[in-house]
Amino acid sequence: MRFTVRTAATLLLLLTGLGALAQDGRVDVTLTHMGTDNLGKRLALALRNQLATSKRINLVKTSDERIGVYLATMANGQSTVYSATWTLGGMADDGYLTSRVGICRADAIWACARTLLAETDKHANVLYSVHHQVPAAR
């Protein structure tokens, strides 16, 4: 799996000219949330706040080249059920990285957001390391 992610990141960066990386080495990331349940909204907000404070991530509203995090939530009693998908690329041609599903209780919103942040950081770190291994396109 790690080889697949690294290979996909390498190919994408070669094709896009490494545009997903900001000048300071941070990786552009967008977060899209779909869901109307209150706990899901809290999870999305907690994840957004944690992404915004990450040293490796540049949280942006839109970007042609970035990691996309798509979070869908639905109420389930006292919890929210979520599906998170990570993609790499431009808006029209995203490449799939990975996804996960989970259930998050109200008292574990920040822990669930940290788990999602860790997955996002993992992909950002791969992009960063690939950027420093691949010579810049001229």
pLDDT per residue rounded down to tens, the chain (138 residues):
555 555 555 444 444 444 556 567 789 999 999 999 999 999 999 999 999 999 999 999 987 778 999 999 999 999 999 999 999 886 556 788 999 999 999 999 999 999 999 999 999 998 888 877 755 554
The whole-angstrom separation of Cα 126 and Cα 10 is 9
54 within domain boundaries: yes
73 within domain boundaries: yes
Q: Which residue has the tokens 């990975």?
A: 98
124 within domain boundaries: yes
Grouping H, G, I as helix, E, B as strand and the rest as coil, residue 34 is strand
- What total of structural domains would you count in the chain? 1
67 within domain boundaries: yes
pLDDT of residue 13: 46
| CB contact at 8 A, 67 and 123 | yes
70 within domain boundaries: yes
- Residue 8, domain extent: 2-133
| CB contact at 8 A, 134 and 19 | no
Q: Which residue has the tokens 């770190």?
A: 125
CATH number at residue 9: 3.40.50
CA 90 from chain centre, in angstroms, equals 13
> Is the overall model pTM greater than 0.85, yes or no?
no
The whole-angstrom separation of Cα 120 and Cα 49 is 13
32 within domain boundaries: yes
| CB contact at 8 A, 51 and 59 | yes
138 within domain boundaries: no
